[in-house]
Amino acid sequence: MRYYVVDAFTDELFKGNQAGVCLLDDVLPAEVMQSIAAENNLAETAFIVKRDGYYDLRWFSPEVEIDLCGHATLASAFIVSSFVDPGAETLRFETMSGPLLVTRKQGLFEMDFPTRRPEPVELTPLMSQAIGLPVLEAHLSRDLLLLVESEQQVRELVPDFALMQQIPNCFAVVVTAPGDAAAALGDAVTAPGGQVDFVSRFFAPGAGVPEDPVTGSSHCTLIPFWAERLQKDQLVARQLSKRGGTLYCENRGERVKIAGKAVLYLQGEILL
C-alpha cells in the first residue's frame, strides 16, 4: 500500500505533529491496521479507503484505535488532495465520530468537528500531583481538562505519567492556560509563533502517547471552553510541545472548526 508521513499543523518540516497515512484498496482487518500503527510508532496512523464520493477513515495509535483524531484527519486531507483527488476543495470522511468535512481555504485545511463540551468536576490532589502544578479548575469530556495559571507553567511543566494513569475516567489529560496576550489584553496576535488566545499540552500515556505534539481532537473541548471564557468565537491556539503547532479555531455551537497547514515528510510503500 502507499504510505506517507505528514507533519500536520505546521508548514515546516520537523514541526507540528507527525501522522502516518495509508491508502488502502479495501478494508484491512483491525488487528492488521493496529500492527501497522504499532510498527510505525507514530502518535496516529490513518487508514483511508476511497468510496463513491467520500472516504472511509480510521485512526490507530500504537496501542489502540482512536475515536477522533485531528492531526491525522488534516494529514489525510492533505494526502488525498495532493495524490488521490488533486484540486479537491471539500473532502468528506466517514469515521467512528460520524461524517467529517475538510475544506481547503486560503492555504489552510479547515476541519468541521463535533463539539465536546466539558463539564466541571471536583478537583483532587492527584490531578495537581500528576502535573506538578496547582490546578485551578478541572473539566471533563473524553479528556480531562486541567486549567492552570499561565502560559509559562504549561510550557515548563514536567508530568508524572505513572500518577497520570491513575486518574480515573479520562482518556487523556489536557493542561491549558490563557495565552500571554489573552491574559493581558483579551485579544491575540494571530501570527504563528506569536501570542495566542490559549495554549495547551496533551498527554495520553494509557494510549501509548505520553505527549502528543499537536492534538486536533482535544480542541473540540478546548474551543468551547475558551470561547466562553474569552467571549469570542474566533480563536488562535498554540500547543506547546517540543515540536509545537498552531491551530486556527472557530466556535460554532455544536460544531467547531479547526484549521491548519501540513507538509509532506515521506512517501513510500508498506509491504504486507
| pLDDT tens figures, 261-272 | 999 999 999 999
Query: How confident is the model over 24-50, as a mean pLDDT?
Result: 97
pTM of the predicted model as reported, rounded to 2 decimal places: 0.90
pLDDT band at 107 (very low <50, low <70, confident <90, very high): confident
Other CB atoms within a 10 A radius of the CB of residue 190 amount to 15
Residue 168: HSE in the Cβ half-sphere, 13 Å Cα cutoff: 4
3-class DSSP assignment, residue 187: coil
Query: How confident is the model over 232-255, as a mean pLDDT?
Result: 96
| pLDDT tens, residue by residue, 122-133 | 999 999 999 999
DSSP strands (E only) in the chain: 2-8, 17-24, 44-50, 55-60, 65-66, 90-95, 98-105, 108-114, 119-121, 137-140, 144-147, 173-178, 198-204, 209-212, 234-239, 245-252, 255-260, 262-269
Position 183 scores a pLDDT of 55
Q: Is the pLDDT of residue 251 over 70?
A: yes
Q: CA end-to-end span of the chain, whole Å?
A: 8
Other CB atoms within a 10 A radius of the CB of residue 242 amount to 7
Position 87 scores a pLDDT of 82
Cβ-proximal residues to 216 (8 Å cutoff; 6+ apart), any chain? 9, 69, 70, 71, 73, 74, 111, 113, 247, 258, 260
| pLDDT tens, residue by residue, 134-168 | 999 999 999 999 999 999 999 999 999 999 999 99
Other CB atoms within a 10 A radius of the CB of residue 241 amount to 20
Nearest CA among 58, 63, 22, 24 for reference residue 43:
63
Position 192 scores a pLDDT of 46
Position 189 scores a pLDDT of 42
Question: What's the grid cell of residue 186?
Answer: 483579551
Mean predicted lDDT score pLDDT of the chain: 94
254 catalytic? Reply is no
Distance CA 129, CA 197 (A): 26
Catalytic residue selected from 12, 39, 44, 149: 44
Cell 494509557 appears where?
A: 206
| pLDDT tens, residue by residue, 162-214 | 999 999 989 999 999 999 865 544 444 444 446 899 999 999 998 888 999 99
Q: Is the pLDDT of residue 221 over 60?
A: yes
